[in-house]
Amino acid sequence: MRRGLFISFEGGEGAGKSTQIKLLAAKLRAKGYSLTVTREPGGSPGAEAIRHVILSGAAETFGPKMEALLFAAARSDHIEQVIRPAIERGDIVLCDRFVDSWRVYQGSSGEIDPVFMDVLERVSVNGMMPDLTLIMDIDPVEGLERATARRGDDVADRFEKETLAIHRSRRKAYLEIARKEPDRCVVIDASMPPEAVENSVTAAAFGVIQRRFAALGSQVQEA
């Protein structure tokens, strides 16, 4: 069994992932857990360099396969440089987006051969799947409104600027992953009032954390 625990946060634009990660991180730190808080694309120096290439839209002209390869390269570096060492140290890793973003954004576009996607996923993830994935679910109309408000005068990134139909199909793709992998995924209704969202996230996360650390024989604290 892993010493640490890996939790990823997923969802469409403006679903509130970053806010919830901050809130959960503060609670876990207050309870004395050792944390690594990270994000994708990025999270390691190599992957952050690739993040810039992808989100600026510079790689878009080279086609979806090239973009998928860049995401996978960034993920591989991030896992081997940051996530795996943290899990081996016994940290709880909170990651803003992970492989489900890739399955949803690149995979469900229908532009890339699913076998190519599968092979690339296996090679890049290299066994490091999350123990828990919180899928923040929100109607894309509301999510995009929030993302626009948060962005202020900055321009929309490569993915935010896509059509509502694409954002809707991504929402469906996330829910489909949750349906297929109920042991790993918990869907959180991100349209609830902020406190209710926070309570749901806390309950799901602490449930898994307590089971893991109890199984490892560590002292368990109540949420």
* Binding residues for ligand TYD (CB under 6 A): 13, 17, 40-41, 55, 71, 96-97, 101-102, 105-106, 157, 159
What is the smallest separation between the CB atom of 148 and ligand TYD, expressed in angstroms?
12
Give 129 or 159: the residue with its C-beta nearer to ligand TYD: 159
What is the smallest separation between the CB atom of 27 and ligand TYD, expressed in angstroms?
21
Give 4 or 12: the residue with its C-beta nearer to ligand TYD: 12
What is the smallest separation between the CB atom of 211 and ligand TYD, expressed in angstroms?
27
Give 142 or 157: the residue with its C-beta nearer to ligand TYD: 157
Tell how strand 132-137 and strand 185-189 pair up: parallel
Tell me the C-alpha distance between 221 and 131, whole Å: 19
Give 4 or 107: the residue with its C-beta nearer to ligand TYD: 107
183 closest CA partner among 204, 159, 153, 154: 204
Name the E strands within the chain: 5-11, 35-39, 92-96, 132-137, 185-189
Contact 34, 91 (CB under 8 A): yes
